[in-house]
Amino acid sequence: MVQFVHPSRDDITLEGVLAALSDPMRLRIVKSMVGQPGCMSCTEAAPCPDMAKSTLSNHFRILREAGLIRTEKKGVEHRNVVRQDDMEARFPGLLKTILGFCDDPRRSNG
C-alpha cells in the first residue's frame, strides 16, 4: 500500500521549493498543473511524453516532498494538485512570480 507523505504547510521551506522548481521538467509540470482547473494524473501533467515512468515518478515525489503538490490515490491513477493556498500562505506571491516567467507548456505543444 502506497502512502503519500506531504509536509505540513509550515514545514515547506524556501530552499526546498526553489530546488524543486530549479529543474526544467518540474517547473513545466507545476506550470501545466496550475493552469488546469482540477487535478491531473502524473501522465497528464507530464509535459514530455517520452520520459521514463520512473523519472516522472521521481519528479512528482520531489514536488510532493517540497510541498508544492498534493497527491491522492484515486482508482488506478494518482491525482495531483498544486498546493496553491499553502504556498501562498507560506510564501506570498512566490509561486505566481516564478510561474509568471515561464512559458505555459500546453500553449506551445498541447
Q: Which residues bind a second copy (CB under 8 A)?
A: 14-15, 18-19, 21-24, 27, 91, 93-94, 97-98, 101-102
Q: CB-wise, 22 or 54, nearer to a second copy? A: 22
Q: Which of residues 35-54 bind DNA (CB under 7 A)?
A: 41-44, 51-54
Question: Which one of DNA, a second copy, none interacts with residue 102, CB within 5 to 8 A by kind?
Answer: a second copy
- At closest approach, how far in Å is the CB of 95 from DNA? 20
Residue 60: which of 15, 90, 100, 29 has the closest Cα? Answer: 29
Tell me the C-alpha distance between 5 and 101, whole Å.
29
Q: Report if residue 81 touches DNA, rule: CB under 7 A.
A: no
Q: Any alpha helices (H) in the chain, and if so which ranges?
A: 14-21, 24-34, 42-45, 53-65, 84-90, 94-99, 105-109
Task: Name every residue whose Cβ is closer than 8 Å to that of residue 25 and which is 6 or more positions away in sequence.
Answer: 47, 48, 51, 59
Q: Using CB under 7 A as the criterion, which residues of the chain lie in contact with DNA when the complex forms? A: 1-2, 4, 19, 23, 25, 41-44, 51-62, 71, 73, 75-78
